[in-house]
A and B are shown apart, each in its own frame.
Chain A
Amino acid sequence: MRFEDCNPIGDKHYRILDFDGNVIREEDIPSFSDEELLYLYWTMLFSRTIDEKNISYQRQGRMLTYAPNIGQEATQVGSAYAMEKNDWLVPSYRELGAWLIKGVPLKNIFLYWYGNEWGSHMPEGVRVLPISVPIASQLQHATGIGMANNIKGEKNVVVTYVGDGGTSQGDFHEALNFAAVFKAPVVFIIQNNQYAISLPRKVQTASETLAQKAIAYGMPGILVDGNDIFAMYSVTKEAIERAREGGGPTLIEAYTYRLGAHTTSDDPTKYREDEEVEKWKEKDPILRFKKYLKNKGILTEEWEENTKKELEKEVTSTFEEIENKSDTLIEDIFKYHYETMPPHLEEQLEDYKSFLEGGR
C-alpha cells in the first residue's frame, strides 16, 4: 500500500509525521508501546550524544577522523528497528543509529574510530558486518548474503546502506542487478543526505529521484522522508516482510540531510549555505519525534534531561576506557591475515620483535 501510493518517479515523499510531529497517515502508524517509543527516542539521543562527544574529542586531539550522523538518526534508527535479531546489517560507515539498534557495543564503536581493528570484531550473535569504506562495495556483500539465504533456505533478510554518492558507483548497479535477478532478500537503503562530501545530490545523477532507479532493476522503490522515524520504520518493515516471503529486494531512498560535516576533516561551509543548513535544522528528526512524544504525553523534559546526563556519562567513561588501553598488539597486526601464519610473516614478526628488544 505504501509503495503503491508513492511511485518513485516524482517527488512525493512517503511520510507519517509532518514536520511538527503531527500524524498525517493515521492508518500507517506503527503500533509501538510507550516503552518502545521511548527506546527509539533514547537510541536517537544516544547516537547524537556519541556524535557530539566524538566531535569534541576530535577537536581536543583525542579522536581520529570521525564521520558524524547528526540529522540522519531517524533514517538509521527507524529502519534498523524493523529488523529481526537474525537479520543481517551491512553498513557503509555512517550508520551509527542502526549499529546501536542491532546491539553493537559502544566499546566496539569507539575502538573502531579510535583506530583498532578489534572494533569490527562483532560479538557472537550480532549480525553486523564491519564498516566498509570503499563506497558502495558493501552492497555486493549484502546481495551475496541474501543469495546464500536463498540457497540455504533460510528466512533472514539483509538490510544494507549506501549514500547518495554511492549510487554513482558501478557496485551499486551490479549489486542491485544481481539482487533482483536472484530475488535476494535484501533491502537497499540510500541515505540521501544531499551531499557526497562536497558534491550536491543534483549533480550526482540526472535522475529525478534516486528511488526511481529501482524501476530499471525491476524491484519496488520508494522515496521516504528520512527524518520521519515512523515512515522509515514502516517502509523498511514492509520491504523486509516482502523479502522474507520470497518477494526479493527493495530500494528505499531516505531523503534526509547531513547537518554536520562529512567527516571531522571537512569544512561544509565551503560548499553549502548556512541558510540551507538552518532550514534543515528545523527539520531535525529528533525534534520532530520529540514533538510527537510530548503531544502524546509520553515524554517529559525531566526524563530527557536525566537521560542525556546518563548517556553522556556512559559515553565519556567508555571513551576514556578506550583512550587509555587500546593500543594494537604487534602480534595482532600479523595474526589475522590467514588462519595459520605463513613462514614469511612469522619471520617478519620475529625480526621486528627482536629489533624492538635491541637484538638487531
Chain B
Amino acid sequence: MANKLNIVEAVNQALMNEMEKDETIVVYGEDVGVEGGVFRATVNLQKKFGKDRVFDTPLAESAIVGTAVGMAINGLKPVVELQFMGFSYPAFNQIISHVARMRNRSRGRYTLPMVIRAPYGGGIRALEHHSESTEALYAHIPGLKVVIPSTPYDTKGLLIAAIRDPDPVIFLEPKRIYRAFRQEIPEETYELPIGKAKVVEEGEDITVITWGAMVRDVQKASEMVKEKGIYPEIIDLRTISPMDRETFIESVKKTGRAVIVHEAPKTLGVGAEIVAIINEKAFLYLEAPPTRVTGFDTTFPLPRGEKHYIPSPERIAKTIEDVVKF
C-alpha cells in the first residue's frame, strides 16, 4: 500500500512506529496530547498510547526539558516537543548544563537517551520568535547531537535513529517545508545513521553544502546554473553535530570549490565551521575561496521582510556562478 507522506506526517509515523515497539518511550510537551501538537506532529498518539505515555504539560519549557532529564535517568525515553525553536531558550540552562553533560559528569553512570523536537526556521509568515534558526547554538555544545532532516524519508529514518540513540538529540524540523511535498516511504520502521550526510545531486564543478529547508532552494538554484553549464554537487548535511566531514571534504577535493548555504545568520554560523574544516583538510585542492550564502547578521524580520532574509534560489545561483568564475 502506498505510504506517501509529507515531513510532518513522517514525524508522526516515526513516533507511532517506535512507541509501538518500545513502551519506555513517552511523548510530552505543550498541546501535544489532546490537540496533537500545533503542527499536528503528534496527532492521534494520545488516542493510541494513552495519557500516561502522551500528555500535555503546563507551559514551561525548562520543566519540559528538565523533567525529561529525570525521566531518562529513571529508565524512560522521553521525546519532548518544544513548540518553536525560538521558545527553546527558557530551557537553555537545562539543555546546556544538564542534557549535554550528564553522561560526562557522571562518567557514564547516568545517560540521557532523549530527544528534543522543535520546528525551526522562517518562511511561514509567523510572528516574532517563530522563525528562528539557531542550530549553531546547540551544535557548539559538546555532548549534544543536532539533526535536521530535509525530506519525509530522512525525517522518519533520522527521528527513529534519534529515539534509539543512547545520547540526547536535538531534532530540528524544517517547518517551512513540513507540508511542501510528499514522498513514498516505507510504512514499517527503519533507521538512517546520525552523523552521515547525503549527496543529493552529483556534480563536478562545485560543492554546495546545505541542510533542512534550504536543500530545496539549493536544488532550484542548481537547475538555474545547470542552464549555464555549471553542475553542482549538492550535499545535505542532515546531521549538524557530529558533522560528517568526510563526505564534503571528499567532494571539495573533487570539485575544488565550495558554497555553504544556511538560513541562520552568517557570523559564527555552522557555515563558518565548514569553511574552517575545508581550509584545514582540503586547502591545496581549492580553486576559489569557500563562500557562504546565509541569512543576515540581523534579527529575523517579521513577515513583511522575511523574503529578503532567507537566501533565495537566485541569490544562491549568483554566488555559485561567482565562485565558479573566480
Contact = CB atoms under 8 A, between A and B. Distances in A.
A189 B70 CA distance: 17
B230 interface: no
B73 A145 contact: yes
A174 B60 contact: yes
Contacts of B68: 144
Interface in B39-82: 52-53, 57-58, 60, 62-63, 65-76, 78
Given A129-B73, A337-B104, A137 B97 contact: yes
B67 A147 contact: yes
A143 B66 contact: yes
Interface string B282-304: 00000000000000000000000
A343 B249 CA distance: 14
A141 interface: yes
B98 A137 contact: yes
B270 to A, nearest CB: 14
A219 B265 CA distance: 46
A337 B66 contact: no
Nearest to B104: A336
A275 to B, nearest CB: 38
Given A121-B106, A143-B63, A336-B107, A148 B70 contact: yes
Contact of B75 (A90, A121, A122, A152): A152
Contacts of A174: 58, 60, 62-63, 66
Contacts of A152: 74-76
Contact of B106 (A122, A338, A344): A122
Contacts of B52: 150-151
B243 A344 contact: yes
A130 interface: yes
B76 A151 contact: yes
A171 interface: yes
B64 to A, nearest CB: 9
B229 interface: no
A175 to B, nearest CB: 6
Interface string B228-263: 000000000000001101100000000000000000
B74 A144 contact: yes
Interface in A99-149: 117-118, 120-122, 129-130, 132-134, 137, 139-149
A120 B94 CA distance: 18
Contacts of A149: 74
Contact of A137 (B58, B90, B93, B111): B93
Given A152-B75, A344-B242, A137 B94 contact: yes
B87 interface: no
B166 interface: yes
B110 interface: yes
Given A144-B69, A147-B71, A121 B108 contact: yes
Interface residues of B, number: 46
A178 interface: yes
B195 interface: yes
A141 B107 CA distance: 18
Interface in B207-228: none
A130 B245 contact: no
A147 B70 contact: yes
A258 to B, nearest CB: 24
Contacts of B243: 344
A198 interface: no
A339 B104 CA distance: 10
Contacts of B98: 132, 134, 137, 141
A194 interface: no
Nearest to B52: A151
A54 B151 CA distance: 57
Interface string B93-134: 110011000111111111100000000000000000000000
A137 B106 CA distance: 16
Interface of B: 26, 52-53, 57-58, 60, 62-63, 65-76, 78, 90, 93-94, 97-98, 102-111, 142-143, 145, 166-167, 195, 242-243, 245-246
26 contacts: A118-B107, A120-B105, A120-B109, A130-B105, A137-B94, A139-B66, A142-B70, A143-B66, A143-B70, A144-B66, A144-B71, A144-B72, A145-B73, A145-B74, A146-B70, A148-B70, A148-B76, A151-B71, A152-B76, A174-B60, A177-B58, A336-B103, A337-B142, A337-B143, A338-B103, A339-B103
Given A134-B93, A337-B142, 16 more contacts: A130-B102, A130-B106, A140-B66, A141-B66, A144-B67, A144-B70, A144-B72, A148-B70, A148-B71, A148-B76, A151-B76, A170-B62, A177-B58, A332-B107, A338-B143, A339-B166
